[in-house]
């Protein structure tokens, strides 16, 4: 089920339209003391209302019959260090596990490794470079154990580039949602990091329903947009799956008057990709969906998300969802009120602009 939707019917938008000044000290380097202890900025896009709140009050914005759609991907320990046959040092970031013994990866080295060459990673993993595929390398992990098993044992957590400390035991727990079950991501679906088991139990007791999609977040989510006219930007591709149970849950919520809320931009992108032909369908595939102002949303009425990088594709997405003026005003307010930004930061709850 391929999806490669570009921007909607809108005027030419430039990178400068999505820029803002962010003081460096507002970039959260560590998670809140507890998952639910982050702040929440509520934006009602149709009216323009902004409300400062706390994430632990999220249940007050929900009612029985509402549906929350989570991304159940699990972050893998995708970063490995080692050397080429020549002795040159390299860093490998696995972007996608292809099967038991093969993966696509980014490689940082002073000189690019050649197809057929051998790598020794973490002092014990023998890896063969098979070929280059665009910016990525296809690697073969030799031996009997699977790539995922080897990464879990020898790899390290790939924290985002704006988090400056090395990953530790706290990160291994907190840079992972409590419901993560499908290994394959190299970045966390960060809106879900705010939920703990007690919050999920409280919502279930209220009659709020949950459903899941899987979108394995790739390292491309951190890549800058390098063109001025954003319509010329080429999105990276990611694997996603939308189960039939989730399609049915959305249909049920709509039939009973419930609202569908995507927990995170990755959940939203998976759902909108699966509805690319106008009807939400179960299935799996690759998506390079690029949502910018002018896009017509088909599935989701509400979005829970963190605060995003200046000039990023995710800022463009939330600007499409809430309206550019609303997002500019909300982000100015968030900076003035000292909200914490990015992966370990605070959350926004957005009602979609009509």
E strands present in 236-309: 238-242, 260-263, 283-287, 302-306
CATH architecture of 79-154: Beta Barrel (2.40)
pLDDT at 299 over 70: yes
SS3 state at 119: strand
- Summarised one tens digit per residue, pLDDT across range 219-267 is 888 888 999 999 999 898 999 999 999 999 999 999 999 999 999 999 9
Q: Which residues 6+ apart lie within 8 Å of 99 measured at CB?
A: 147
Assigned token pair, 210: 């949950």
Residue 28 has pLDDT above 70, yes or no: yes
Which whole number is the average pLDDT over 77-97?
Answer: 94
DSSP state of 156: B
CATH architecture of residue range(s) 15-75+172-351: 3-Layer(aba) Sandwich (3.40)
**For residue 2, what pLDDT band results from cuts at 50, 70 and 90?**
very low
Radius of gyration in angstroms for the set of CA atoms belonging to the chain, rounded to a whole number: 20
Which pLDDT belongs to residue 11? 66
Handedness of CA 207, 33, 162, 337 (dihedral sign): positive
Q: What percent of the chain has pLDDT over 90?
A: 90
Q: What is the DSSP letter of 197?
A: H
Q: How far is CA 113 from CA 70, 109, 251, 278, 335, in A?
A: 38, 8, 50, 44, 43
The DSSP symbol for 337 reads T
Per-residue pLDDT of 129-185, as tens digits, reads: 999 998 899 999 988 899 999 999 999 999 999 999 999 999 999 999 999 999 999
| Range list for CATH 2.40.10.240 in the chain | 79-154
């Amino acid at each position: 089920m391929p999806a490669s939707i570009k921007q909607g019917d809108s005027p030419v938008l430039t990178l400068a339209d999505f820029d803002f000044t962010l003081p460096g000290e507002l970039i959260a380097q560590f998670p809140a003391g507890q998952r639910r202890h982050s702040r929440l900025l509520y934006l009602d896009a149709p009216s323009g209302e902004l409300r400062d709140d706390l994430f632990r009050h999220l249940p007050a914005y929900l009612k029985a019959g509402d549906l929350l759609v989570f991304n159940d991907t699990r972050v893998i320990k995708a970063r490995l260090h080692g050397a080429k046959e020549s002795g040159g040092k390299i860093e490998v970031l696995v972007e996608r596990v292809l099967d038991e013994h093969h993966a696509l990866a980014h490689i940082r080295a002073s000189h690019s490794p050649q197809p057929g060459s051998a790598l020794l990673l973490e002092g014990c993993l023998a890896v063969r470079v098979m070929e280059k595929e665009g910016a990525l390398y296809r690697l073969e992990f030799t031996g009997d154990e699977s790539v995922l098993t080897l990464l879990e044992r020898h790899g390290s957590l790939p924290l985002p580039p704006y988090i400056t400390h090395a990953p530790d035991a706290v990160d291994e727990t907190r840079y992972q949602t409590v419901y993560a079950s499908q290994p394959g991501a190299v970045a966390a679906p960060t809106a879900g990091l705010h939920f703990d088991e007690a919050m999920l139990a409280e919502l279930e007791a209220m009659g709020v329903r949950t459903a899941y999609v899987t979108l394995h977040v790739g390292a491309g989510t951190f890549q800058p947009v390098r063109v001025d006219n954003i319509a010329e930007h080429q999105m990276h591709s990611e694997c996603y799956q939308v189960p039939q149970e989730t399609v049915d849950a959305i249909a049920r919520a709509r039939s009973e008057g419930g609202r569908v809320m995507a927990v995170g931009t990755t959940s939203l992108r998976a759902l909108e990709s699966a509805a690319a032909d106008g009807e939400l369908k179960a299935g799996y595939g690759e998506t390079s969906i690029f949502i910018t102002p002018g896009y017509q949303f088909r599935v989701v009425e509400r979005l829970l998300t963190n605060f995003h990088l200046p000039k990023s594709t995710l800022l463009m997405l939330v600007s499409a969802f809430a309206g550019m003026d609303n997002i500019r005003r909300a982000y100015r307010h968030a900076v003035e009120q000292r909200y914490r930004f990015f992966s370990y930061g605070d959350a926004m709850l957005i009602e979609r602009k009509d």
